[in-house]
Amino acid sequence: MATITILPDHLISKIAAGEVIERPASVIKECVENSLDAGATSIEIHLKDAGKSLIHIKDNGTGISQNDLEKLFFRHATSKIKNEDDLSHINSLGFRGEALYSIGAISDVTLKSKTLNQSEGWEIHVRGTQRLSLKPAATTLNGTEIEIKELFFNTPARKKFLKSNTTEINQILNILIPYTLLHYKTRFLLTHQGSPLIDLPTDENLTKRIAQSLHIEEKYILEKKYPKDQNDMAIQIVLGDINIKRARRDLQFLFINGRPVQHKNISFHLNQVYRLIMPPTDYPFFYVDILIPPDDVDVNVHPTKREVKLKDEQHLCMLLRNITEEILMKNGQIKEAASSFSPAHTFKNTTIRIKENKTDSLEPWEGQSEKSPNNNIPHSPSISEQLFFIPEANFHRKNKENLQSRLQNAKFIGGFLNKYLLFEENHSLLLIDQHAAAERVNYEKFLNQIRKGQIEVQHLLTPITLKLTPQEFLTFEEIKDTLEKIGFSNNQWDATSIAIHSHPIFIKNIERAIRNLLAERSVEKYDMDAIARRACRSSVMTGDKLQDPEAEKLKQQLIECFDPFTCPHGRPTVVELTEDFLDKQFLR
């Protein structure tokens, strides 16, 4: 049995720091939250080396008095709570007194501050928990300025884990942008190596700020406010219409009591409403700001406070769902579709899944069929649903050659829902998922063309222009030459848009292909294979009706593929229902 040791303080501080500060983006989150808690109306952030060598943040908030400055960088030093009671009514972003301590434990920090009442500022210098100096500072401006250098200088394992500058900046944008929306009256400036990445003036209007910060058009967003109800809850919601679609949930923002949070259940329900007007591969824009009594929410469940626990989650989800439907319907977008929304429909969307091999999973719970995180909508499956929707084991996928040759002999007998192609062979029904099959065929063809350097392209008479989010823009900068090589000739159009002048011939939905390609967070992961896979995501739509010869052609092309029975993302392309299986279902 190993002996137990009590860890020394310096080690404890490094471990604790690691929970709060994982990368430059976490430093920015903590410091921006401090500035906002201090009532700042201007926050400037300057980075060098994606923050790895310098993060310099300046705010015009209340500042920190000389007395308090002495207490900074100690663990649990906070001005935001005093006793246990306060924990249940937190109305600041910070409350643990952990952030500055953690930052000081793994970097070299100088913090300068001046309050309105002080004639001069003071400055404290800390390096890896060591307090090096506390002295008057030459500053006349009220507010706080913090310079963080050499991040993770004493935790090399953490430092090694940091990704490329593009990826780290992307993470920073992901963290910062939600605050720029919620605090739309605050000025935000973010620069990297001297060039501005975000430059938002003091603003008065939420929709204008959303448009400016996310590079989307104001005319495509709808805003609605619901003042406090009998439960003391207020909601402000801004929804994108069908013109704003993304490959990821990049444009989805949820705030609870002034804190950007992630909540799978709420997000699931809002996306479900949009499923009525958008295909499952597209994600809409939404911004939901909820104010609820602090007693009804617990933010103390995760070290980074990103997850919250809600008292009456079910009620809130249903309320948001109704509100979203109402707003979208009023805008004339879903009408009949909304009435077709029934628990049975949800059941089908949520429970029927053939297990996916998520080789190219975009997000942990993203997929063609979304799964309700809590399976909240009550519905007991009917007998027919129970019998028919039985998992994978009943869809025999025989070995490759056998199935290939049987598919060769199979006769096309029709299509189902413009989604599945039905083929009959001996005592089996073979179903081809036309979308997955076309993806496989196009992916192999495309990869081949890339390898040979002979890509068939379509030139466009008028270019397609796309407005990109700041994150997409960053990725575009990194991969624009690669895009060019694979047939998407491109250039920057204006400060927020790009133009596409040609595309690989088989790509039908160019915008979706480009956004899929720009949705990768870690550009390090991009090899030609990943690029071809992402581009092919948009090669064919599920809803296209295929005529008999086209269905036969697709079958033939699929048979000739190197790896015909899975799509590039790991889903099956063909499933077999044997006579035996069907007999069993009919209790024969």
Ligand X SMILES: Nc1ncnc2c1ncn2[C@@H]1O[C@H](COP(=O)(O)OP(=O)(O)OP(=O)(O)O)[C@@H](O)[C@H]1O
Binding site for ligand X (CB under 6 A): 30, 33-35, 38, 59, 61-64, 72, 77-80, 94-101, 144
CB 260 within 8 A of CB 299: no
CB of 78 to Mg ion, least distance (A): 8
Of residues 24 and 504, the one with the C-beta less far from Mg ion: 24
* Listed ranges 26-34, 49-57, 314-322, 441-449: which one lies at the site for Mg ion (CB under 5 A): 26-34
Selection from ligand X, Mg ion, none that 62 binds (CB < 5 to 8 A by kind) is ligand X
Of residues 100 and 173, the one with the C-beta less far from Mg ion: 100
Of residues 59 and 478, the one with the C-beta less far from ligand X: 59
CB of 417 to Mg ion, least distance (A): 52
For residue 462, give Cα distances in angstroms to 229, 405, 417, 458, 488: 51, 45, 34, 12, 14
**Can you name the residues that pair with 70 across neighbouring β-strands?**
none
Sheet holding 497-504, edge to edge: 457-467, 497-504, 490-492
CB of 307 to Mg ion, least distance (A): 17
Selection from ligand X, Mg ion, none that 28 binds (CB < 5 to 8 A by kind) is none
* Amino acid (1-letter code) at residue 414: G
Query: Which residue of the chain is nearest ligand X when measured via CB?
Result: 94
CB of 106 to ligand X, least distance (A): 14
CB of 94 to Mg ion, least distance (A): 3
Interatomic CA distance for residues 106 and 153, integer angstroms: 6
Classify burial at 422, counting beta carbons within 10 Å of its beta carbon; exposed 0-12, middle 13-18, buried 19 or more: middle
Query: Which residue of the chain is nearest Mg ion when measured via CB?
Result: 94
Residues in the chain: 588
Selection from Mg ion, ligand X, none that 50 binds (CB < 5 to 8 A by kind) is none
DSSP string, 276-324: TTS-TT-B--EEEEEE--GGGEE-TTSTT--B-EETTHHHHHHHHHHHH
Residue indicated by tokens 């300057």: 46
Selection from ligand X, Mg ion, none that 179 binds (CB < 5 to 8 A by kind) is none
Which two three-digit tokens encode residue 20? 């709060």
Of residues 72 and 182, the one with the C-beta less far from ligand X: 72
Selection from ligand X, Mg ion, none that 97 binds (CB < 5 to 8 A by kind) is ligand X
Which two three-digit tokens encode residue 515? 């956004």
318-322 contact pairs (CB < 8 A, 24+): 318/269, 319/235, 320/235, 320/237, 320/266, 320/269, 320/270, 320/288, 321/269, 321/270, 321/272, 321/273
Selection from Mg ion, ligand X, none that 565 binds (CB < 5 to 8 A by kind) is none
DSSP strand pairing (457-467 vs 490-492): unpaired
CB of 98 to ligand X, least distance (A): 4
Which two three-digit tokens encode residue 126? 């800390």
Of residues 104 and 504, the one with the C-beta less far from ligand X: 104
Residues 78-137 touching Mg ion, rule: CB under 5 A, are 94, 99
CB of 60 to ligand X, least distance (A): 10
Of residues 94 and 128, the one with the C-beta less far from Mg ion: 94
| Footprint of Mg ion (CB under 5 A) | 34, 94, 99
